A and B are shown apart, each in its own frame.
Chain A
Amino acid sequence: MKTTNENEMDLLLRALGRDAAARSATGSVQQSSHEIGEHLDADELNCYAEGIVTVAERLRYTKHLADCDRCRSIVAGLVPAMPRQREAVKLETGWSWREKLAALFAPSVLRFAVPALALTAIIGIAIVVLRRPQQTDFVAQNQQQTPGVSTRGETQPTITSNAPQSAASPGQQPLAGSKEKNASSEEKPSTVQSPVVAPKTRTGTVTTDRAADGLVRPADSSVAQSQPTFAAEPTEAAAPPPPAPAALDANKAVEARKQDNEADLQKRRDDAFSRSRTENEVARAGPAKGGPSRNNSNNLGGYASVMSRSADKDEKAAGNAAETRKVSGRLFHREGSVWVDSAYDSGRATVNVKRGSEQFRALIADEPALRSVAEQLGGEVIVVWKGTAYRIR
């Protein structure tokens, strides 16, 4: 209805305009000067067209132009010739905040601004998406740098893959944690264990495997206990054997050796860490060789490989320090340089027998089993035989 009314009024006004134009063309209507006032001169018309008039002048000129066909036709001819100048004048006069806001969201501005913003957003997303795979490749490159370790780890795969975390000192733990985060960001749980469960499981696995191989020593348990996160779940195999209450001199010697071993172990770890850093830097600088394989658990990063190597060395040291042997159906464990029968209670009196002595020859002649024990276990041996403890030196 409203549109219809507007159309009707539009048609009526057009018809009225045509009539007025026809009358003006024939000159049948002459506007008297007292009706419309004096005509504007060329200077005033120009100032109005250029928009450089004051408010009072503008009102006065507008009133005249609304009634004077002559002046209006001149101004109408002037304005299209100077649109830019009028816009400049408009800018100089200063806009209100409402006009500025309207100009900011004007269709002419949005027509260019919206595609530009969309393009910027697309470029930004593309950059983010393209950068992400590059970072993943970088992590994979680090993992490629362990061919030697993987071959070494073939004999003891569980220890090789888990040793760096279990053997890591408290100072190195954050780094290991960050590596776990990187691994978890790859979203490959089948390859890398989850960071929450992994530490406990790894510790258990390492100690169990070592215990099964007979390589566990008190030094390992002390390392595990110094890491509260990893040693939260102790296992039977990881538990150290109870110290003997007797033979204090032997215990002192064992303690001294423990301290020496720990210091040596820490030094080797520090060296291994510095070497691993150097290798990582080299790996970052150079291209990857041998083709990456993220699914291969043996192919870990350079840091992991170095740490696993150091762990192997630790195990060797631990093997030297803590040995258990079974001879003639008896289990002997080594305490320092002394092989001690597992049936021997500390503090129990022993019969000292010197190798090569008459007493020794008589003993092994009566008990051939002791002979094999003395031959297989070199050095000092404490063996319990038929209720008597013999210290063979």
Chain B
Amino acid sequence: MSKTRIRSPVNRKAEEIEKAVAAHAAHFLARATDTYSISVETLVPRIRAAVEKYLLRDNPAASPTDVNEFVDKLQADDLCLIVACEQGNEKAWTDLVARFGTTVRSAARSVSSNEEGAEDLAQSIWAELHGLRIRDDGKPASKLAYYSGRGSLAGWLRAVVGQLAVDQHRKQSRLVQTEDDADFDRLQQDDQSWSGNAARLNPELEVSDKRASADLKTALAASIGHLSDEDRLLVKLYYFDGLKLHEAGAVLGVHEATASRRLTRIHADLRLNVQESLKKEHGWTRPETERAFSDIALHLEADIEPMLMGDKMVKNESEMTG
């Protein structure tokens, strides 16, 4: 008695996608200027991986038409070059270094403090791309395997440089922290800087102001946490990462003016949330919160001026010295 194998809808869908990818891979390869003699069979797994990562994750019921549209938007030249490099094609490696060597060096310089550091970082990137470790199948574990072809290869290389630079910087920071406590002391001083000048003269007032500023700071941090993701990202980019308004807007994909309007609205929302939080958790009245805002802001303003003056003096000195 013969058994008929019944396929589940999931399997049927996967097969449809597989067929669509295989059918469109040849078309994809035909779009490339230089295929580096890679075959359609070599390309299919890479395209399927990209489809699963980006298309099917948010849209599991995607049709073959959606798959075709997605594959049509992939960067054919860049993906063929990377796949050929993975295959160990020397010509492809030569082309990769020739075309993107400048991009990698430029990205390394932008995240490094000096030329030597930039050169070291660029060399590390090429090493990472070649693959320092060996996978189970005997091939080098290269970062090239993570390029999907959805974005530009130049942008992807810049992102890889950025990742490596941040990771290296964090490792160094951890080492510095264990050896030196000076920064921790400075942090303690920063906490004190939230309390007013009057508090330094009167111990009782000092305790009271310290507590008030700590409450305000906690409430403000919590309020930022309650903002929407986009608003929170804008606040972090502008106030925490020190980006300019047009740069923060560019990250969010909005105009500088739009980012500015959003910040104004966020200020009002945060103030309202902080007042509500202080009233609810610490029993502050509205006049008390208003006074705390103005006192701390006044004190912060007084603290910033010497910092700005110091920056100016350092700048003038550096200009004079040459």
Contact = CB atoms under 8 A, between A and B. Distances in A.
Interface of A: 4-23, 25-28, 41-43, 45-47, 49-52, 54, 56-57, 59, 62-63, 65-67, 69-70, 72-83, 85-86, 90
A50 B305 CA distance: 38
Contacts of A5: 267-268, 271, 293
Contacts of B250: 79-80, 83, 86
A83 B190 CA distance: 36
B155 A78 contact: yes
B237 A16 contact: no
Nearest to A18: B190
Contacts of A16: 217, 220-221, 224, 239-240
A50 B73 CA distance: 13
Interface in B181-216: 183-184, 186-187, 190-191, 193-194, 216
B307 to A, nearest CB: 9
A42 B146 contact: yes
Given A8-B293, A8-B294, A77-B111, A26 B177 contact: yes
B301 interface: yes
Nearest to B178: A27
Contact of A27 (B173, B194, B230, B247): B173
Given A42-B143, A66-B236, A86-B250, A12 B155 contact: no
Contacts of B162: 42, 45, 73-74, 77-78
Given A47-B150, A62-B230, A28 B177 contact: yes
A80 B248 CA distance: 10
Given A27-B177, A66-B236, A79-B251, A73 B194 contact: no
Interface string B215-229: 011001100100001
B242 A21 contact: yes
B190 A19 contact: yes
Given A7-B297, A49-B155, A74-B159, A79 B183 contact: no
B237 A76 contact: yes
Contacts, number: 184
Contacts of B177: 26-28
A43 B158 CA distance: 10
A271 B270 CA distance: 96
The main secondary structure of chain B at its interface with chain A is: helix
Contact of A15 (B229, B241, B251, B300): B300
Contact of B236 (A14, A72, A86): A72
A22 B177 CA distance: 12
B29 interface: no
Given A73-B166, A74-B166, A77-B111, A28 B184 contact: yes
Contact of A43 (B156, B170, B271, B301): B156
A17 B58 contact: no
B242 A78 contact: no
B3 interface: no
Contacts of A59: 229
B220 A12 contact: yes
A17 B221 CA distance: 10
B93 interface: no
Contacts of A65: 233
A337 B114 CA distance: 127
A63 B229 contact: yes
A54 B66 CA distance: 13
Contacts of B268: 5-6
B253 A11 contact: no
B76 to A, nearest CB: 15
Contacts of B100: none
Contacts of A6: 264, 267-268
Contacts of B221: 16
A9 B158 CA distance: 35
B235 interface: yes
Given A12-B220, A25-B173, A45-B159, A51 B297 contact: no
Contacts of A43: 146-148, 150-151, 156, 159
